[in-house]
Structure 1
Amino acid sequence: MAATAAEAHAAGAAYPQDVAALAGRRFEARQPFGCAGPRPSETADGYVIDEDRRAMTIQMTATSWSDEGWRQAFSAPDSPAEALEGFWLRRPWITSAACPASSGVEGPASGESLGLVRVFAAGGSRIPRRGERPYRTTVKLEPDAPPPAMPLQLVVRGKIADAGGRPIRCRAGGPDQRPVCLVSITLERVSFETADGATVADWRE
C-alpha cells in the first residue's frame, strides 16, 4: 500500500481508495536491530553488554520529524500538527525480520523511504510524546546462561490512523526522486523481542 501511495504521488494521480481503506486496520511491524553486534556506548541505539555487571542495555530512540513540510502534510485546517514522532522502517524492501546478508562490500546506506508516524495536534496532551526519551531497558544476564537469541527485534503495534482519509502521505524533492512516505498510526505497543519471540521489554500506551 505504501508503494501504491508513492506511485500515485509520483504520477500526480488521485489518492488510491485501497490506501484510504487502511484506516482502522491493525498492524504489526517488526524489524531487526543489533545486526552488527554490540554498540560501543550505552547511549547509542542498539545493545551493549557489560561483562563485569553481566547486564545487557538495549536502547532505541524514536524519530522526530521536525521540518515544516511534514507538519503541513499531516495538518488539517482545524487541527494543525504540532509534533510528529515514530519510527523509520529500515530496509523496507526486506519483509522478514531477519538481518540483511553481508556481501562483503560496504557502501553508502540508502535514504529512508518509509516510516510510521504519530501525529500530535496543537493543543493536545503532551504526555504520550517521547521527545528525546529513548525506549531503554537493562536486562540481567545469568551466569553461564547464553545471551538472548539474536537479532533483537523492534516490534511496533497499533492501528492505521484515518488522517483525514489519507493515512499514507508522501513527499519527493523532484520527479526523478523516489517519494518518501509516512504511515499515520495510533500507537498501542512498542516491544523489544528476541529472535525466538521472547519479550525483553514492553511499553504500552
Structure 2
Amino acid sequence: MSDRAVNARNALRPARLFLLAGVSGLAVAACGERRPAVPETPRPAPPAAAPLADPVLDRAAILSAVDAAASRTAAGLPPVAEDSLANRRFRMRIAFGCLGPEPAPPEGAVDAGAPRWSRGPDGRTIRLRFTPADWTAGDATGPAVNGFERVGGLWVNQPWMRSEGCPAPGLPVLDAFDLPAPPKVALALLRAEGASRLGRADDRAFTFTVRPQGDAPAPDPARGYRLVLEGRLTPWAGGRVIRCRVNRADSRPPCAVGVVLDRLAYEDGATGETLSEWRPG
C-alpha cells in the first residue's frame, strides 16, 4: 500500500470515531430522557341529557287526536292500549264572533256551551260571555260519568280548522248563522269535589265588558275574539281522555275531550291582547 493511501485512511479514522461517539451519545441521552409512563386521568363521562318535557298540546294536536279517536270508533275498533294524552298539558284557542255579534238564541234555547259577544243595551259597550253547558247528567257522547261533581261542556267551533284564528272572510253572515254546522267536537270541563269553580257549569257565566275609549262606541273587533283554555287533558269516561259515540252510521261520531282547567281567558283576535282571565282560587 502506498504512503498516500495509508495517510488517507489514518485521516478518516478520527472522523469515524467522532461519528460513533456522537451516535452513542445520542443513544445515552435518549435513554436518560425516558420517563416512567404516567397513567392518564380518566375523563368524566358527559352528563346524561335531561329528558325533554312534553310540549304543550295545541288546538291542532288535540283535534288530530280527536280525528283518530272518531275514526276508530266509527270503524268499531277498540281504543289504543295506552292513552298517551293522559295528563298532558294543553292550550286551546277558540275563535268566536268572527262575523259580528251573534243574534239572540231562539225562544227556549239555552245560551250555553259556546262563547259569544253582543252589544250592550246602549250600543256603546261589547259584552263577551261564555256559559258552560251542564253535562253533569250526560252529553252527546254518552251517559254521566262518576267521580266528578260537575261536568261542563264547550263545543269547539270549526273543528275542521287547525288554525286558531277566524275562518277566511267572505262567507255571507245570514248563511253562517241560519245553517250552522252541527257541533261534533267538545271539551268536557271536569270539576272534582271541592275544586275551583273554574269551568263549573252553573248559572254564573264568564263575562267581560269591552268599554269605549272616548265618546265613540267600542269598535267591532277586526278579527273577532278568542276564548283561551289551559290545563291538563284528563281521563274521564272509561279511563279515556277522548270519548266518542256513533249516533248514525252516515255521520261523524261526536267526541268529547276530558280536561281540567287552570286558566280561562279572553283575547283580542287581532292583537292577541289578554282582555280578562280566570284562575283557580
Alignment TM class, shorter chain as reference? 0.7 to 0.9
Describe the SS at the equivalent of 1:8: helix
Q: Which has the higher strand share?
A: 1
CA deviation map 1:19-55 (0-9, x unaligned): x1101111111111112213456xx752234595843
Distance 1:186 1:130, change over 3 A: same
Residue type of the alignment partner of 2:214: P
Calculate percent identity across the aligned residue pairs: 33
- Aligned twin of 2:263: 189
Is residue 125 of structure 1 aligned with residue 188 of structure 2? Answer: no
Residue type of the alignment partner of 2:85: L
C-alpha distance in 2 between matches for 1:188 and 1:127: 9
Q: Which has the higher contact order (CA 8 A, sep 6+)?
A: 1
CA contact (8 A) 1:8 1:16 kept: no
- Aligned twin of 2:225: 152
Is residue 11 of structure 1 aligned with residue 75 of structure 2? Answer: yes
CA contact (8 A) 2:166 2:224 kept: yes
- Aligned twin of 2:151: 84
Cα deviation, residue 3, structure 1 = 0.9
Unmatched runs of 5 consecutive residues or more in structure 2: 1-64, 105-110
Distance 1:143 1:150, change over 3 A: farther
Residue from 63, 69, 92 that aligns with 1:29? 92
Please provide the CA RMSD for this pair: 2.9
TM-score (norm 2): 0.60
Residue type of the alignment partner of 2:278: W
Cα deviation, residue 139, structure 1 = 2.8
Residue type of the alignment partner of 2:230: R
Residue from 108, 117, 120 that aligns with 1:47? 117
Cα deviation, residue 127, structure 1 = 5.6
Q: How many residues align?
A: 196
C-alpha distance in 2 between matches for 1:200 and 1:14: 42
Q: Which moved more, 1:124-133 or 1:134-143?
A: 124-133
C-alpha distance in 2 between matches for 1:17 and 1:137: 43
Q: Which moved more, 1:105-114 or 1:90-99?
A: 105-114
Residue type of the alignment partner of 1:154: L
CA contact (8 A) 1:71 1:84 kept: no
CA contact (8 A) 2:86 2:235 kept: yes
Q: Which has the higher Rg, Structure 1 or Structure 2?
A: 2
1:95-110 correspondence runs (5 A):
95-101=162-168, 102-104=170-172, 106=175, 108-110=179-181
Residue type of the alignment partner of 2:135: W
Residue type of the alignment partner of 1:152: Y
Describe the SS at the equivalent of 1:4: helix
